[in-house]
Each structure stands twice: as C-alpha cells, then as structure tokens.
Amino acid sequence: MIFWEKVLLKYPTKLQASEEDAESLPIVFSKWFVAYNQGERVIFVRLYHNCVWSIPPSKTWTDYDTSDNVPLETLLDLVPYLDQVTNFNLYTGKVKYNNKDVIWTPIHQWKYHNNRTVHFNETPTKGTNSELSSDKDSEKSNPDEDTAQVEDLLRQAETTVTSAIQKLSS
C-alpha cells in the first residue's frame, strides 16, 4: 500500500471543502481531501506517492512523513512550459502565452479559454514527472510505489496522446 493510501485510511471522515480551502490549494494538485487532525481543519494532498498537508489559509505545505516544508520550486516543477508563459498563478493556473489567456487545467494540460489545447514550441524541461527519480530510487523498489509511478506515467501518456489527436484533427 502506498503512503497516500495509508493517509486516506487514517482519516475516514472527509469534510466538505470550503472556499478558503479551495483558495489555499495550488492548481497542480488533483488528489486531495480535507479532514480534522488534532482539532484543526487540514488539507491533505497527494504528491506522487507521498502526502503533503497544509492548514488553511496558510499556503505552506509540509511533507506528512518527514515534516519537512515543501519548497515552492517543487510545486512549480510539476508544471511544464513555465519558461514559455508569463505571470503564472499557482492557485488559479492562469497565464499569458503569446499574448493570449491560457490556463493550467485540473487534468494537467494547458488550455486556451476556448478549451483548445496549447501547443508549445519545444519539449518541456519541467513538469514531466522526472522528479519521480529522486533519492528514493536508491532505496529498494516497492511494488505499490512502482504501480503509482506507472499510473502517473500512463496519465501523462494519455494526456500527450489526447493532445496529439486534437492537434491532428484541427
């Protein structure tokens, strides 16, 4: 069982997300829940196979396992093509690309406001899940962690194929 699943089981009662919760949640996170922990309302988020948490309205994220702060750069590294857009807002996903309004979607794609996929000029240097090969690669492989990584890679491949199909059909 991956660490995220253990956290999900530890907090069986999930709370309705408030507006404050939503405003505290970076757009890069797609799997999350809100629960009470020691009397405080906490947002728990999946970051690869790990879990990070924050207490709204704070926008500081802490690794659940190590209690280390998660640097802003770690979150920004999840988003590809940031070097080609301007004024990226981590909480709304809104940017400008070639003087057009673009948004980072919850399905981890750049879209124009007419819902068409953005096609950038080059291969991204960030946000490609290369962060999965970290210090943990030196540890013995865990089948559950491998499964989570494969699921992330499959999701990324599906996104890429969908984007290619849309580009070919337009």
Query: Do 65 and 86 lie in a common domain?
Result: no
Domain around 110 = 74-169
Query: SS3 helix, strand, coil % of the chain, rounded to 5?
Result: 35, 25, 45
Query: Do 66 and 33 lie in a common domain?
Result: yes
Residue-wise pLDDT for 45-79, tens only, equals 998 888 999 999 888 999 999 999 999 999 999 99
Residue scoring higher pLDDT (106 or 61) = 61
Reply yes or no on whether the pLDDT at 131 is more than 50.
no
In the prediction, which pLDDT does 147 show?
Answer: 73
Which of these three, 52, 70, 88, is where a domain ends? Answer: 70
Query: Do 51 and 109 lie in a common domain?
Result: no
Which of these three, 70, 93, 122, is where a domain ends? Answer: 70
Residue among 31, 26, 76, 72 nearest 50 (CA): 31
Instruction: Output the CA–CA distances (angstroms, integers) from residue 126 to 5, 80, 111, 161, 165, in the order listed.
Output: 26, 5, 18, 19, 23
